[in-house]
Structure 1
Amino acid sequence: MKKLLHSFHLPLLIFTIGLGAFGLVMVYSASYFVALEATGDAASFAKRQGLWFILGLSVFFFVSTFKFTAYKKLMPIILGVTIFALLLIFIPGVGTERNQALRWISFGPLVIQPSELAKIAIPLYVSFLLVHKKDQLHDFKKSILPSMIVVLMIAFLIMLQPDLGTVISLAAGYLALLIAAQVPIRYLLVFGAGGVLAVTVLAITSPYRLERLTSFMAPFEDPDGAGYQLIQSWTAMANGGFTGSGFGESVMKLGYLPESHTDFIIAIIAEEFGFIGTGGVILAFGAFLVIGFSIAMKSVYPVGRILGIGITIQIATQAIMNLAAAGGVMPITGIPLPLVSYGGSSLLITMTLLGILMNIHRMTYNQQVREERQVAA
């Protein structure tokens, strides 16, 4: 037991449990008004999130002890389940539509978001493939194309929902995997240019996405319509000032700021804990970047290095997109803040990814211990 505890990466453990627990507290604070109106129980959303958090912790510790190299044999199942779940969305009576988007599937009281599964499937599949093809990375057809076909197929199914934000975060993670595998720069430039072009075309050809883009650039031109959410987010942040109004004292969550417990939870954090609280969250994700890269670069397994970098960039990109959207720095995409925003699927998948990252560290640690014992012997 002592050996097991020593093999855990303490900073990553503190980040996962600490930020997850803080998120649970903030979900209660940000959602109690909406929850009271919807269910009659002010703590109903927080209770549900708490159950997901407990499940997420269980999965985190299980995955952290499960050798990540064993996922190679499970890849056909993981990819198959992901694609099957994404297709289930479009079956009438199974897919659930919210806010003009068909992103969820319902099994009685259980509602999950299949696109979250792609955040596990893509990094695992691409990492193992690139390591397997490490001697053929200069051959586009043999090394890059197979992974690109799978990523584009999954991205296409997610875009049909539509969910551009998730596609962007997955693309960022995929690009990080290619960079970590030391794919020739000419392929990276082509992928990057193609990605920017695709996002631009998708944004300007959809009235819904175009409205979000224009409202982000000029929210006060339509303050009661497309720009309303961003203006309310700014108001919440302004109300918080430097030290905030105090826990539970947010005014904007009382029906003024839509999605205050999901996409815009950082605005409520800013209102209740001010610049100090917001800065703390940003610093936590900054620390995570350092932690993730450190674990990845120290991995004694090539696939661990690539996978660790991919997971780190994917989670960090999601956090940046959420924070930037709430602050008006980029368009609103509906991306949750990892570990903090309300949402069981997002929380569970994020903690699973962090568990894999922890296992990358543990396998490196255990290998180093074995080598030290051999030297000592």
Structure 2
Amino acid sequence: MTVFDDGERPRGGGPWPIWGIPLVLSLCGLVMIASLSLRNSMTGGSPYAQIVKQCVFFLSGLVLMFACAFSSLRRFRRWSGLLWFIALLLLVGTLIPGLGVRVGGARRWLDLRLMRFQPLEFLLLAVPLFLADRLDRSRREGFQGFLRPTLMVTLLSILPLLFQPNLGGTILVTLICLMMHVENRGWRYPLMGGAFMVVLFVSLVMIEPYRMRRFLAFWDPWSDPMNKGFQIIQGLVAFCNGRLFGVGIGKGLQEDEYLPAAQTDYIFPAIGEEFGLAGTLFLLSLYAVWTIRAYRIYRRCSNPFLSVLTLGLTMSIIGPMFINIGGVTKLMPLTGIPLPFVSAGGSAMLFMWAKVGILMRINKISLGEGRREREPEGC
């Protein structure tokens, strides 16, 4: 019986909520991005450029989802180590001048000429696959079982992120790895590791001046309202302007660029302004229902590999949601993590849909519909 299991496993259901809810979220994001893109026409740019690009990413994500949903997990498991290694190489590539793109003082993107690619999103797919396989194969117990593979995979994964620097991605990868270990081996050592990582993160904030300034702006944005605190304040203003039902689509102050990064990091306040509290609660309810559905898949997985993988993939989707919404509502410092399925951006959209496809495949196997395909043990 797994750590989070508390009784009889629930019976199955159709897979449609796993892909249907992200579909609704993506469509909401497209509507919001289209509304925000209208301001491009004021500066001579095409008002349709951003929305057309996002539609291409969305359709490509759907294709990738179907490809993953109809692929054998045996292949994903067999190549999980290579995928993880490639993800690490791509992260290192962001640190190479000319290949990595510096945005806002950090190197988190690769310039692929046709598009900018964020390797963190690939890592958030590769880590659950690889660590689930390692945890299932490892026979070590106690601290040795935590040291290898969990701590080793965690440290090697976050090292390039610390050099970018990408504190939000570091926190997210660490959380995913520790929670996967909890599911497989228990709470004791992940709690110790988590305490150590908290000390490390606090130290990283204190020794880096720009991180300290960001933290102080989070703590009291009104102390520097026109500089470091401007984005936080404008996000809160957007929520206030929206009230219960919003000011209406296309009528928000973001159209005049009062809210920086409204299409990416701050799309949730933009939705709050144009659709009000009702719109934001609708989005939160969609995430809640999707999480419950993913939890039901997790509960049905009797195989350790599948249960750990399901938990890791779910955390890699829901974790960014909590980090993004916590940042824009001033519950925690903003770390530049996009809102899953909603924010503009290609890398996140593609790999989020790939995870949905794998979860659909796990759902099919857990319902016993994949037996005739002769999946190997654990897949």
Normalised to the residue count of structure 2, the TM-score between the two structures is 0.91
Instruction: Tell me the distance in 2 between the aligned counterparts of 1:85 and 1:190.
Output: 30
Deviation of 1:363 (Å): 1.3
> 1:332-343, aligned counterparts within 5 Å?
332-343=334-345
Deviation of 1:8 (Å): 5.3
State the Cα deviation string for residues 235-262 of structure 1 (Å, max 9, x = none). Answer: 1111100000111111134211110000
Instruction: Tell me the distance in 1 between the aligned counterparts of 2:44 and 2:354.
Output: 30
Instruction: Tell me the distance in 2 between the aligned counterparts of 1:369 and 1:150.
Output: 31
Deviation of 1:64 (Å): 1.1
Q: Is residue 13 of structure 1 aligned with residue 15 of structure 2?
A: no
Q: Is residue 108 of structure 1 aligned with residue 113 of structure 2?
A: yes
Instruction: Tell me the distance in 1 between the aligned counterparts of 2:42 and 2:347.
Output: 23
Q: Which amino acid aligns with 1:327?
A: T
Deviation of 1:38 (Å): 6.7
Q: 1:180 aligns with which of 174, 178, 183?
A: 183
Q: Is residue 136 of structure 1 aligned with residue 130 of structure 2?
A: no
Mark the runs of 5 or more structure 1 residues left unpaired by the alignment. Answer: 1-5, 371-377
Find runs of 4+ consecutive structure 1 residues off by over 3 angstroms.
Answer: 35-39, 366-370
Instruction: Tell me the distance in 1 between the aligned counterparts of 2:65 and 2:146.
Output: 31
Instruction: Tell me the distance in 1 between the aligned counterparts of 2:74 and 2:352.
Output: 19
Counterpart of 2:233 in structure 1 is 231
State the Cα deviation string for residues 308-334 of structure 1 (Å, max 9, x = none). Answer: 111112211110111111111111111
Deviation of 1:340 (Å): 0.3
Instruction: Tell me the distance in 2 between the aligned counterparts of 1:30 and 1:358.
Output: 32
Deviation of 1:293 (Å): 1.1
Deviation of 1:39 (Å): 6.7
Preserved CA contact (<8 Å) 1:82 1:118: yes
- Bigger Cα displacement from structure 2, 116-125 vs 295-304: 295-304
Secondary structure, counterpart of 1:252 in structure 2 = helix
> 1:111-126, aligned counterparts within 5 Å?
111-126=116-131
Deviation of 1:90 (Å): 2.0
Q: 1:40 aligns with which of 32, 45, 58?
A: 45
Q: Is residue 154 of structure 1 aligned with residue 160 of structure 2?
A: no
Counterpart of 1:303 in structure 2 is 305
Secondary structure, counterpart of 1:243 in structure 2 = coil
Secondary structure, counterpart of 2:316 in structure 1 = helix
Secondary structure, counterpart of 2:47 in structure 1 = coil
Counterpart of 2:3 in structure 1 is none
- Bigger Cα displacement from structure 2, 300-309 vs 322-331: 300-309
Q: Which amino acid aligns with 2:29?
A: G
Q: 1:208 aligns with which of 168, 191, 210?
A: 210
Instruction: Tell me the distance in 1 between the aligned counterparts of 2:125 and 2:33.
Output: 25
Instruction: Tell me the distance in 2 between the aligned counterparts of 1:305 and 1:100.
Output: 39
Q: How many residues of Structure 1 are paired with residues of Structure 2 in the alignment?
A: 361
Secondary structure, counterpart of 1:171 in structure 2 = helix
Normalised to the residue count of structure 1, the TM-score between the two structures is 0.91
> 1:1-377, aligned counterparts within 5 Å?
9-33=15-39, 35-36=40-41, 40-133=45-138, 135-138=139-142, 140-142=143-145, 144-181=147-184, 183-367=185-369
Q: Which amino acid aligns with 1:130?
A: L
Counterpart of 2:5 in structure 1 is none
Secondary structure, counterpart of 1:279 in structure 2 = helix
State the Cα deviation string for residues 267-302 of structure 1 (Å, max 9, x = none). Answer: 110001000000011111111221111111112432
Q: Which amino acid aligns with 1:164?
A: L
Q: Which amino acid aligns with 1:95?
A: G
State the Cα deviation string for residues 198-248 of structure 1 (Å, max 9, x = none). Answer: 111111111111111111110101101111001000111111000001111
Identity score, percent = 29
**CA pair 302-39 structure 1, distance change in 2 beyond 3 A:** farther
State the Cα deviation string for residues 148-175 of structure 1 (Å, max 9, x = none). Answer: 2222122010111111011111111112
Preserved CA contact (<8 Å) 1:55 1:348: yes
Instruction: Tell me the distance in 2 between the aligned counterparts of 1:293 and 1:129.
Output: 22
Secondary structure, counterpart of 2:256 in structure 1 = coil
Deviation of 1:37 (Å): 5.8
Instruction: Tell me the distance in 2 between the aligned counterparts of 1:155 and 1:345.
Output: 19
State the Cα deviation string for residues 115-138 of structure 1 (Å, max 9, x = none). Answer: 1111011111111111112x4333
Instruction: Tell me the distance in 1 between the aligned counterparts of 2:179 and 2:276.
Output: 33
Counterpart of 1:374 in structure 2 is none
Preserved CA contact (<8 Å) 2:131 2:153: no
Instruction: Tell me the distance in 2 between the aligned counterparts of 1:290 and 1:30.
Output: 31
Mark the runs of 5 or more structure 2 residues left unpaired by the alignment. Answer: 1-11, 373-379
Instruction: Tell me the distance in 1 between the aligned counterparts of 2:38 and 2:353.
Output: 24
Q: Which amino acid aligns with 1:25?
A: V
Deviation of 1:67 (Å): 2.3
Preserved CA contact (<8 Å) 2:150 2:181: no
